Chain A
Amino acid sequence: EAGVAQSPRYKIIEKRQSVAFWCNPISGHATLYWYQQILGQGPKLLIQFQNNGVVDDSQLPKDRFSAERLKGVDSTLKIQPAKLEDSAVYLCASRTPGQGRNTQYFGPGTRLTVL
């Protein structure tokens, strides 16, 4: 079974520029998550989708971050404009209810550096 795919793996941009990340979850996984992981910290949930609907985006900085999952499969996370403090690894995870309450499978992440 293929895992969660993410691209790009690395991205370097200057502050105030825009950037987008892509995630392809495990086939059949209805629930998709985006996390932000700052160096030395645990992942922090940004947004959770159930199919193509948003379940929780309470910790998403909506003035600059946006995410979509239009067809309930792939998802994109966008930052516009980026700030220095957005430098982090952005992780995508997916889950299907049949695998237990919260067995989330993570992708390799996209490491973003904002200069």
Chain B
Amino acid sequence: GESVGLHLPTLSVQEGDNSIINCAYSNSASDYFIWYKQESGKGPQFIIDIRSNMDKRQGQRVTVLLNKTVKHLSLQIAATQPGDSAVYFCAEAGGTSYGKLTFGQGTILTVHP
């Protein structure tokens, strides 16, 4: 079935490094993508989103890249901080399922001071 998945389940980096979290999706009809951050004991927190008519979008210390050719999404975090340690999920909304998000499994990011 259609799914959104992640290449790496865990990522460990040093404080100050840049982090890259990857996501592959299989639904070619997906036209909207979101990255969420989830800290232990909390609900997912919106980080950044991107529509399929874009290939890059920047926020504060974060950049999302979308490659529709290979159905790949990535989240780049610049100057990673210990407070960035969390589980990161990508999610997609398909063109025929307005409002319905499909989440991937998640990547655990650990930032060492």
Give A residues with C-beta under 8 Å from B: 4, 31, 40-45, 48, 55-56, 91, 93, 95, 100-109
Contacts and interface: CB of A to CB of B under 8 A. Distances in A.
B3 to A, nearest CB: 10
Which of B45, B46, B99 has its CB near the most chain A CB atoms (within 10 A)?
A: B99
Interface in B39-55: 41-46, 49, 51
* Interface of A (DSSP majority class): loop
A4 B45 CA distance: 12
In this complex, the interface size class of chain B, counting residues with CB under 8 Å from chain A, is 20 to 34
Contacts of A109: 42-43
A106 B105 contact: no
B49 A102 contact: yes
Interface of B: 4, 32, 34, 36, 41-46, 49, 51, 89, 91, 93, 97-106
B49 A100 contact: yes
Contacts of B105: 40-42
20 contacts: A31-B99, A41-B105, A42-B89, A42-B104, A43-B89, A43-B101, A48-B99, A100-B49, A101-B51, A101-B93, A101-B98, A102-B93, A102-B99, A102-B101, A103-B34, A103-B46, A104-B46, A104-B101, A106-B43, A106-B44
